[in-house]
Structure 1
């Protein structure tokens, strides 16, 4: 049986790394803040925390988190994206791997925070979402946080329509024994309300 590609690979063919990096360089040059995700996570963390950037792409967020004093490991399935990350921050830990097989990468379950930003969850291979969320939860220390950011409509996704509703995502998180603590409409912390096109969610793994 042929393994189903993730939605990101279907969109990009696994060759988007350099263009993705140029896009954010243009935004930064135009004066836009491209570090909102890192600032959001930093506000949740103790100093020198352990962070896993799941679906780290070109390393934009992970590199900034290290600049802020944290120990951040990045993992991504797209080799073209990781090539940019390794070029820009060769001393950091970058792992090539499928999040649906995160348990095979030998990571210790001691991360204070696991981040899946940039529509990582909606762009997974269809049907792997519950497995990925279970693996992300398992990578956390007891009491650790899972932070996700995702579009909920076509205006906030590189897809013609959202592959699932936020209620389905919350169900998958509950199956992974994760409890929703907070939900926002932006990385700046704007209030979330039903019908918002974007959701930033903070879930916690049980402390015991």
Structure 2
């Protein structure tokens, strides 16, 4: 097997540069303090979910998206493998529940050990998380996310081009995981998806 197929890119970057996560978190805090609009993803997810929905932020980072959704009245659980980013999420967005957990091994059993055993209404992954997954784990991650949803629940996955995961391959993997692709867009503002799009937002249903 190709060695790169078993490597999570984020974990590799942090191992090579222990200050990477701290700089990443400080950047988002600085942008927020400067008044930049950082809520585009959250507004879309909020519009798709009934008030009070159970929502999983898969690869939550600093919690900026899930925090917005929690303050909007949803029950938000966020997971990320980076301990520092989870610390920041807890500090900045205490309205939600944040856990250190590896998305590549997060199935229903693993989530239950964190005290989360009820299915989710909606799962989302923003911030190019799928571009950081080890290639060998992608199919399993999609299957696990589907398994965490209630019947009729939806997943919204967004990531950019040039990150080692071809958009067509992602859609094929999602289908093999049991998802139905309801729509593909080129931005979190739902701009039309074209063959030369440099970003994909996929809306998947269980």
Is 1:97 the counterpart of 2:101? The answer is yes
* Displacement after TM superposition at 1:90 (Å): 3.7
Structure 1 residues 41 and 26: CA distance shift in structure 2, 3 A: same
Structure 1 residues 91 and 29: CA distance shift in structure 2, 3 A: closer
CA RMSD, 1 decimal: 1.9
SS of equivalent residue, structure 1 residue 191: coil
* Displacement after TM superposition at 1:17 (Å): 3.3
Counterpart contact for 2:79–2:98, Cα < 8 Å? yes
Is 1:123 the counterpart of 2:132? The answer is yes
Q: Which runs of 4+ in 1 moved over 6 A?
A: none
Partner of 2:36: 32
Instruction: Provide the rounded CA distance (Å) in 2 between the counterparts of 1:182 and 1:140.
Output: 18
**TM-superposition CA deviations, 1:35-94 (whole Å, max 9, x none):** 111101011111111100000011111111011111100001111111111222345311
Structure 1: 5+ residue stretches without partners: 154-161
Counterpart contact for 2:70–2:95, Cα < 8 Å? no
Larger helix share, 1 or 2: 2
TM-score, normalised to structure 1, is 0.87
Counterpart contact for 1:17–1:58, Cα < 8 Å? no
SS of equivalent residue, structure 1 residue 137: helix
Of stretches 7-16 and 93-102 in structure 1, the one that deviates more from structure 2 is 7-16
**TM-superposition CA deviations, 1:149-169 (whole Å, max 9, x none):** 10012xxxxxxxx31211110
Is 1:172 the counterpart of 2:173? The answer is yes
Structure 1 residues 82 and 16: CA distance shift in structure 2, 3 A: farther
Tell me which of 149, 168, 171 is aligned to 1:140: 149
Is 1:110 the counterpart of 2:114? The answer is no
* Displacement after TM superposition at 1:15 (Å): 4.3
TM-score, normalised to structure 2, is 0.88
Instruction: Provide the rounded CA distance (Å) in 2 between the counterparts of 1:117 and 1:100.
Output: 15
Is 1:8 the counterpart of 2:17? The answer is no
